[in-house]
Amino acid sequence: MTVSAKPMPGADADIPYRKPRFRVTSDLGITIILGILGLITFFPVIMLLELSFKNMQQMADAMWLPAWPLYFQNYAKAYNVVRPYLLNSVVFVVGTVCISIVFSTLTAYAMARYPFPGRQFFFLAILALLMIPGILTLITSFVVTVQLKLNNTYWGIWLPGAAGAQAFQIIVLRTYFSSLPPELFEAGRIDGASETSMLTKIALPLSMPILSTLVVLQILNVWNEFVWPIMVLSRPERYPAVLAILRLSTLITERDPGAVYAGYVIVGLPILLMFALTSRSFIRGLTSGAIKM
């Protein structure tokens, strides 16, 4: 006869108790609330995508509901109008970002690594520029651009756009460069590295997360800018893609509003793809500590 031993009392006391990750009373309610808030946030985007695939008759029959078949001709019409202006936006973005990042990096590195008279004064002066709204300098920038005969040129877009972002970029990069260990630069000087080599081989590789964040923010600002280009450029063929939407609204009659919505999607799609591809670097730069003043 086999006798089964009873488990000793307290035998399971060494097994740690694991708290359930999901609790119906609290986690489900938070999930529902966040889901509702997310739906409200993305509802305009969802409606934009839905309306971009409809013709006029489908909008009249079912404005708020999906309709079949999808009307892909809207995107063909919108792309034919927006296509010449997409290249202009790319040129504006590349030129402005390159000039802005290069000069802000050099300025921030000099202010962070070299003690010179008036360094703190210049830093505070640059910090004070953040308190001035950009709209207040719009007329002054336009007058200077016209006097330098830069209107209707790429330089008239690049230089003011780069200058407007200098204050924020210099402050962020200067804070980040100041936080780098000075032993790295001392070791570089002992090895005979030049100042240019220490900038390109020590400072820049370590600052790639925050540089990528600044690049993404600058691209977003330049791509969505429409006030300055319409002031400086008098030739419509040089307008960026954002201003092409105005031309899209005039070329397409009111009987075909779906093409206008499709144009909105086409213009916003490059920014969406850029953020999707660089979101990891963008978040890493935000959490790197350089944004904290």
Question: pLDDT, tens digit, for every residue of 75-98?
Answer: 888 888 888 888 888 999 999 999
Q: Is 149 left (phi over 0), alpha (psi -120 to 50) or beta?
A: left
pLDDT category of residue 99 using cuts at 50, 70 and 90:
very high
- Looking at residue 293, what is its pLDDT? 43
**Is the pLDDT reported for residue 1 higher than 60?**
no
pLDDT (mean) for 251-276: 77
Helix/strand/coil for 157: helix
Structural domains of the chain sorted by starting position, each given as residue range(s) with its CATH number in brackets = 26-71 (no CATH), 75-286 (1.10.3720.10)
Q: Is 10 left (phi over 0), alpha (psi -120 to 50) or beta?
A: left
Q: Is the pTM of this model over 0.85?
A: no
pLDDT category of residue 153 using cuts at 50, 70 and 90:
confident
pLDDT category of residue 113 using cuts at 50, 70 and 90:
confident
Per-residue pLDDT tens digits for 189-228: 887 777 788 888 888 888 888 888 888 888 888 888 888 8
Query: Do the Cβ atoms of 92 and 157 come closer than 8 Å?
Result: yes
Please provide the average confidence, as pLDDT, over all residues in the chain.
Answer: 79
What single string gives the DSSP state of each residue in 92-159?
HHHHHHHHHHHHHHHHHHHHHH---TTHHHHHHHHHHHTTS-GGGGHHHHHHHHHHTT-TTSSHHHHH
Query: Do the Cβ atoms of 214 and 173 come closer than 8 Å?
Result: yes
Amino acid identity for residue 7 in this structure:
P
**Is the pLDDT reported for residue 119 higher than 60?**
yes
pLDDT category of residue 252 using cuts at 50, 70 and 90:
low
pLDDT category of residue 254 using cuts at 50, 70 and 90:
low
Query: Do the Cβ atoms of 100 and 162 come closer than 8 Å?
Result: yes
pLDDT (mean) for 40-47: 85
pLDDT (mean) for 146-161: 88
- Looking at residue 258, what is its pLDDT? 78
